[in-house]
Amino acid sequence: MNQLSNKKRQFLSDMSLLFVAAVWGGGFVAVKGALDTMTPLVLMAYRFIMATVIMYIFLHKKIGKFSREDLKNGSIVGTILFLAFAAQTFGLQYTTASKQGFLTATYVVMVPLLYWILYRKRPHHKAFIGSALTIVGIALVSVNKEMVFNIGDGLTLLCALLFAAHIISLEYYTKSMDVLKLSFLQLGVAAVLFTGTAVIFEPIQLSLSGSELFSITYLAIFSTFLCFTVQTIAQKYTTSSHASIIMSLESVFAALFGVLLLNEVLTPFMLMGCTLIFVAILIIELDFKFKKKP
């Protein structure tokens, strides 16, 4: 990929991240189905253990050995990833897959704001307009018929903030670290943390039904091993803000799969909120395109 022009690298990165968004959209449905019979931490432990093992089997020669600095960096990124998925998985117990898909996409606005806080680089004023629209959209998407903010919605917003931090951390560490090593370490650290917390807080489930095994396999191979490896590689050739814009399209796929496979219904309020969130995403995207012009 280093032999390609910057334009071609950017295009391949965008297409790769679009693939990630589509697979993650289906992942909401897989997690929702598995949570009907499995506890959250056990489900995530199986998911990340399987993904880590599969990645090591196929890529251990390219991954190679780790330095102390590699282990430190991978532990930081993996811990953020663990916290994000923990918040998301617990939140999905109390909300729908389509609603969580849209709420998780709010990290597209959080990324430039968090980047500003960390690096003292103020984003364009359109980022603030996008943020205001997103907040209104979140309010419309998150309330139910009784206009009550669900605890699952709150956990999902926390997960969105953590995913924003994860995207920024990947952009930072891929500049100085091999992408395959970072991808493997973040999965391994998340697997260890999920396994440890599952043993402490939940009953261990050793036998799995056919549907549970299918959901775990999909999540491990596609949503975890492939997606995080592709995301880590792609973010070496693009910015965190641009990556978040492309990957936020997972909300579209999550809603589509939720309606088609789980018979979920999008209420008028949710449709209005989703429209505002999409408008905010477009504003942010246009903002960054304008900033690239001389």
pLDDT digits (tens, 9 = 90+) for 110-142: 888 888 888 887 766 776 777 778 778 777 766
Token couple for 194: 């999920």
Distance of CA 237 to the CA centre of its chain: 18
Burial 99-136 (b: 16+ CB within 10 A, else e): bbbbbbbbbbbbbbbbbeeeeeeebbebbeebbebbee
| CA pair distance 187, 192, nearest whole angstrom | 9
What pLDDT band is residue 293 in, cutting at 50, 70 and 90?
very low
Within 13 Å, how many C-alpha atoms sit on residue 100's CB side? 31
The residues near 254 (Cβ < 8 Å, ≥ 6 apart) are 24, 25, 26, 28, 29, 97, 98, 100, 101, 102, 104
Query: In the chain, how long is the greatest CA-to-CA distance?
Result: 60
Q: Where are the domains of the chain?
A: 6-292
The backbone region for 143, taken as left when phi is positive above 0, alpha when psi lies in -120 to 50, beta otherwise, is beta
Report pLDDT for 294: 46
Confidence of residue 291 (pLDDT cuts 50, 70, 90): very low
Q: What is the pTM assigned to this prediction?
A: 0.81
pLDDT digits (tens, 9 = 90+) for 63-106: 999 999 999 999 999 999 999 999 998 998 888 776 787 788 78
Average pLDDT, the chain: 84
- Which position has the higher pLDDT, 85 or 32? 85
